[in-house]
Structure 1
Amino acid sequence: PKDASGKRLGPLVPYAGKDAQGRNLVGDIYFNFRKIESHLEPVGCFAKAVLEKLDALFYSGTLGTFRTVCGIPEGGRTLAQELARICDKRFAYAIKKPKPTEPGKKQEYEWDLSQFEFASGEPLLVMEDVVNNFQNTDQMLTEIAKTGAVVVCLGAALNRSPFADTSYTPKSGPYEGKAIPIVAAIREPYPEYQQDDPAVAADITAGNIEWNVKQNWAGLMMKVMGTA
């Protein structure tokens, strides 16, 4: 958001999605599930909201059953564990390993599932805290395919994707062309921009972007509140 003079009220934040030149997309809104996941009752509320929607899809015949809930860390792991508990499913999760990342880009990770065993054809629900551009999802789908398990649904606390409403169809990889259902507690698309978009270009040039949002959350909040 901007004030009456056109000045942005706080720093931009980066998203995992990238443009054709490999630059992170950016925007004004960041859903920080880490501030929620330390409070178990709200996490439970998100899990119950997801479960209600899963039940509706199951009883309508839209979605088959799943045996395991597999979380993408960190928030997705927390939410996956709670969902698995309340619906009596097996719980698994990936280990998050940082990739070498260039300065001025959002940190990227790879996912390691080697600490869990999966049966061939085992149906999984993959849980994230937020789904948007599905970069992390695509990586996770590739890793799961190596195990022989099968992803039947994607879950999230928030689906803020500008293009994927109730399903996501990968354009490449082991699930290319297959529509995978998305079940999110909240569905609300947020605007995002390429870095040369006139809506954000001046802020990018001025360095008005916080690349390490979660690590610098307190300072970011001070800037947003105008107290820094």
Structure 2
Amino acid sequence: MDTTGSPRGPLVGYAGQYEDGGNLRNYVGFVYYFVGRGDQWPHIAEHWAKSHAQLLASFEPDLLVAAPMGGISYASVLKQKVGCRGIFVEKKVLQTADIGKREKSKLVLGRYDIYAGDRVVLIEDIVNNFSTTKEMTDLVEVAGATVIAIASVINRSDMSSYWPSPERDPLPVIALQHRPTPQYRQDDPVVRRHIEAGNVVMKPKDQWSELVAVETAYA
């Protein structure tokens, strides 16, 4: 907080988007969870995966499908604990990032196969807007498999289930931690002054050391 009691920033960009005058803009917020800083360490990834496998045991999945890039490393450890196959989908970039906007991309099933009848759990490091989840669900179901749950290290949404479409049953979100975290449009009064001042990092993973330095300076 600054001297007025307002968050001092910088803001960070989130993957979720909204339409603004015909353009897509990314939501922003004051908190960023960088799961990759934890699961790079074997003992941390093992601890998380062991706990997660216990939560997933009753689902009896045939396959874990990881989202790029955050879910890939973690899923490689988790599949060992769950004892099933594990693959990942790949991201194809359609448009590079620009000021106020992150890159546009789509998910593709590249080097792996999904078999008809597979019971699938989707793996993500963090879930919130479920845009990636919806795209992954579509890829899985086109192959004739069934998504039975979503597993994430952190769920920063306010939901414990996700509906891919109105016609189907909700998918349970099995998270190690549920941390509902506010996000804002870039024209929201809460964040407008930060946006106007350029006090925003749209791709925080690429500038993580700078964010840490700011936090350390005010600690």
What is the TM-score normalised by the length of structure 1? 0.86
Distance in 1 (alpha carbons) for counterparts of 2:152 and 2:19? 26
Residue 188 in 1 paired to residue 182 in 2?
no
Q: Which SS does the other structure have where 2:75 is aligned?
A: helix
* 8 Å Cα contact 1:11-1:224 kept in structure 2: no
SS in 2 for 1:191: coil
State the TM-score, normalized to the length of structure 2.
Answer: 0.90
Gaps of 5+ in 1: 59-63
1:145-177 deviation per Cα after TM superposition (whole angstroms, max 9, x unaligned): 222221111000001113x12x101247xxx54
CA contact (8 A) 1:69 1:81 kept: no
1:34-90 deviation per Cα after TM superposition (whole angstroms, max 9, x unaligned): 2112111101111122222223xx2xxxxx421011111222111111111012101
CA distance in 2, matches of 1:130, 1:213: 14
8 Å Cα contact 1:126-1:155 kept in structure 2: yes
Aligned residue in 1 for 2:78: 83
CA contact (8 A) 1:47 1:185 kept: no
Helix, strand or coil: the match of 1:23? strand
Aligned to 2:51: 49
Tell me what 1:101 maps to.
96
After the TM superposition, which parts of structure 1 deviate over 4 Å for at least 4 consecutive aligned residues? Answer: none
Q: Which residue of the partner structure matches residue 136 of structure 1?
A: 132
Give the match for residue 8 of structure 2. Answer: 9
Shift of 1:102: 4.7
RMSD: 1.8
1:22-171 to 2 correspondence within 5 Å?
22-55=24-57, 58=58, 64-103=59-98, 104-162=100-158, 164-165=159-160, 167-171=161-165
User: What is the SS of the residue equivalent to 1:109?
Assistant: strand
Q: Which runs of 5+ in 2 are unaligned?
A: none
Match of 1:61 in 2: none
| 141-150 vs 195-204, greater mean Cα deviation | 141-150
- Aligned 8 A contact 2:14 2:202 in 1: no
The residue aligned with 2:196 is 205
TM-aligned CA deviation for residue 3 of structure 1: 1.7
CA contact (8 A) 1:67 1:123 kept: yes
- The secondary structure found in structure 2 opposite 1:214 is helix
Tell me the matched-pair count.
Answer: 214
- Return the alpha-carbon distance in structure 2 between the equivalents of residues 80 and 15 of structure 1: 22
Contact 1:14-1:210 within 8 A present in 2 as well: yes
What's the offset of the Cα at 1:99? 2.7
Q: Judging by fraction of residues, say which structure has more strand.
A: 2
